[in-house]
Amino acid sequence: MNELTRQFFDTLIHAGRNLLPIVVVVAVFQLFILQQVPDGLGSILLGLGIVVIGVALFLQGLEMGIFPIGKTLSDEFAAKGSLPWLMIFGFWIGFSAVIAEPALIAVAEQAETISEGRIDPLVLRVLVATSVGVVVSLGVLRILLGLPLHWLMIGGYLLVVLVTFFAPPEIVGLAYDSGGVTTNIVTVPLIAALGLGLAGSIRGRNPLTDGFGLVALAVMVPMITVQLYGVIVFGLGAAEADASTDEVRRMLEEQATETLPATAGGLLADLGAMVRDVLPIILVILFFQFAVIRKRIPRLPMVGFGFVLVIVGLYAFVVGLKLGLFPIGRQMAEQLIEHGRMLWVYLFAFAIGFATTMAEPALIAVGKQAEKAANGRIDAGVIRIIVAIGVAVGITIGVHRIIAGDSIHLYIIAGYSLVILLTWLAPKYIIALAYDLGGVTTSEVTVPLITALGIGLATHIEGRNILIDGFGLIAFASIFPIVSVMLYAIAVELFSRKRGD
């Protein structure tokens, strides 16, 4: 028990360290630029503290309960070499991991509020989770057959761009954001471990070029399905509901204040909802463990306790982000706009993007795995900086789009057209990793803050539609790291050739 306590405090410190860059950036802007204290500071600080505790409990539970079983199952299926079971397992791991993703839950609830109920949060989550399940299953097949990833990505993003031409503007930003938030606390470790494990166990496969890529596919396909969902909801449904700015602000504030239950019964009810959210991944893992592998779970009490920590941590995370991070994003947007100098808005967007990405644990983990797989061709520290610059630039461009009132269609199409072009030009060893890095940059802390920033800007800039303009920043945070990493690899290769000459 002492060892578990030590591990928890290490995780708690780690979670606090991940949140610290955001706190520093916000504090600097509040004290030295805005020179004012945010409203409801006590509630915001309480929310931030709850976020740290929730993330720590959640991660500790994953390490104790879900990850060990998930890794064991991946190894068992890879050893058996059973293609049907591998694909079935890949689908259900992808589906169950995403359906429980806290960032997707938060974005779906925001979308329901802002669309006045036209977007159903459960339908949205099931659509995204099903998309990820299908694509992980097909990604497993790609690794087994040794198919090159770049053809799939080029074809896939050409389809994304084509669908974007026809999708209603109300759904485009949300669709790209939904793709960006599928790869987070639960999804990245499970999916990445599955891909790398398969590539490492199959003769003739390279972990760097074949093992990476599942995360990238999990980001891309939901963008297509959610836009098609938008065609049904907004294209074939009733006339668009257009809530006023005051109405939307009131709904968002009510949504935030309702997260703290007033009674013990309310607390149990909310915890029950969290059980419902996490239950799919638990059931999937248990089913494959007992019905397919037919082996007992080692250290069952410890695993069970890990599942409990996952549920409690997820609940605390959702409550904390609504008390702390969403209010910060909305207030900072409002205060910076009222300050009258849009330059500070751009600087805040860039600083938040860079600071949060540098502390992103999934990025650190993937960078180390890539460095090991690349045998010295990739430096994990350099990759982190390159990715952080890409995220910062992407969020800044996304903020400019909201301020200028430009169509997101043009930016997204141009961004992914550039990605497709660079995929042709970049060294083949970097392509899978670059796409995966675009998917791991949206952390459990970054997503709610960026979402709140976009909604806050769209709320307080005259003439902006909150549903059309408020979403989309996460998409920019996913596109431009792909661009920056590919440009970095192209530059390194050109430099090496020149030096060799």
pLDDT at 366: 72
CB-CB contact of 466 with 248 (8 Å): yes
The CA-based diameter of the chain, rounded to the nearest angstrom, is: 74
Helix axes 342-358, 380-404, angle to 10 degrees: 150
User: Greater confidence, 487 or 342?
Assistant: 487
pTM: 0.72
C-alpha distances in angstroms, 243 versus 115, 173, 246, 252?
A: 8, 18, 8, 12
pLDDT at 32: 82
Report pLDDT digits (tens) over 184-233.
655 666 676 677 767 766 677 766 677 777 777 877 888 888 888 888 88
CA angle, corner 397, sides to 179 and 490, nearest 5?
80
Report pLDDT digits (tens) over 37-84.
777 777 778 888 888 888 788 778 877 876 677 667 766 776 666 778
Dihedral sign, CA of 14, 19, 21, 27?
Answer: negative
> How many Å apart are CA 281 and CA 129, to the nearest integer?
11
CB-CB contact of 390 with 360 (8 Å): no
**How many Cα neighbours within 13 Å face the side chain of 253?**
10
The residues, ordered by sequence, that sit 6+ positions from 225 with a Cβ below 8 Å of its Cβ are 127, 128, 130, 131
Report pLDDT digits (tens) over 258-307.
445 555 566 677 677 667 767 777 788 778 878 877 777 777 788 788 88
pLDDT at 400: 92
CB-CB contact of 191 with 450 (8 Å): no
pLDDT at 376: 66
pLDDT at 71: 64
pLDDT at 469: 81
DSSP-derived secondary structure for 371-428: HHHTTTS--HHHHHHHHHHHHHHHHHHHHHHHHHT--HHHHHHHHHHHHHHHHHHS-H
> How many Å apart are CA 439 and CA 456, to the nearest integer?
24
pLDDT band at 239 (very low <50, low <70, confident <90, very high): very low
Does the pLDDT of residue 424 top 80, yes or no? yes
User: Greater confidence, 20 or 177?
Assistant: 20
Does the pLDDT of residue 244 top 80, yes or no? no
The residues, ordered by sequence, that sit 6+ positions from 443 with a Cβ below 8 Å of its Cβ are 18, 184, 356, 357, 359, 360, 361, 362
DSSP-derived secondary structure for 444-461: TTHHHHHHHHHHHHHHHS
On average, the pLDDT of the chain sits at 77
> How many Å apart are CA 444 and CA 104, to the nearest integer?
10
- Note every long-range contact of 251-256, with CB atoms under 8 Å and residues 24 or more positions apart, other chains counting: 251/113, 251/114, 252/110, 252/113, 252/114, 252/326, 252/330, 252/455, 255/109, 255/110, 255/113, 255/322, 256/322, 256/323, 256/326, 256/327
pLDDT at 219: 78
The residues, ordered by sequence, that sit 6+ positions from 131 with a Cβ below 8 Å of its Cβ are 221, 222, 224, 225
